[in-house]
Amino acid sequence: MYATVADMRAEGVTPAMAGDTRLAVLLEEATRTIDKVTGWHFEQRSATLHLDGRGTPSLWLPVPPIRLYRLALHGADVSFSREHLVVEGAPVGPGFDGPRLTFRHGRVFPRGEGNVTVGARWGYTEADGTPEGRTPLAIRRACMLLVLRSLSPLADEDSLEE
């Protein structure tokens, strides 16, 4: 989730307005909405992707890699180091132009369908001094605003007739 129940309490949401369980459900729903609308996710998640090689040194990725733990071509694991593979990913910094892996020294990702396997921690995160980064503050705020919108009262006390 991009925000926590504690974040919502700090925003002034009282237990009378919404219990912890309801807030957790609304936060999860807001997180899924942000993921769906943007097509990316903004926290660290582990996954293994099977991608198509195009016979080029660079492989553009659907989401920024944070930390690679596996790279395989045609099912055979490939050793990788910064000397031989450039990883453009997260935490995202100035000059970020898209997530990708790029081989150096003339090597290419061979052509094929689903022939490149990349296991990694993925997510669009921003630098916070840790290796994996954090959810961007604007995304965290958007998540909280979506939840607050769901908590808006249908009427206030002044509109009630006695």
Q: Which whole-number Å values give the CA distances from 24 to 7, 11, 96, in the listed order?
A: 11, 15, 32
pLDDT tens-place string over residues 50-109: 999 999 999 999 999 999 999 999 999 998 888 899 999 999 988 888 999 999 989 999
pTM of the model: 0.79
> Taking Cα atoms as reference points, which of 61, 71, 62 lies closest to residue 119?
71
CA 147 remoteness from chain centre: 19
| Per-residue pLDDT at 162 | 53
Amino acid letter, 65: P
Q: How far apart are the first and last CA of the chain?
A: 42
15-42 pLDDT, tens digit per residue, is 999 999 999 999 999 999 999 999 989 9
**What is the pLDDT, as a whole number, of residue 93?**
85
Residue 151: predicted pLDDT: 87
CB 100 within 8 A of CB 59: yes
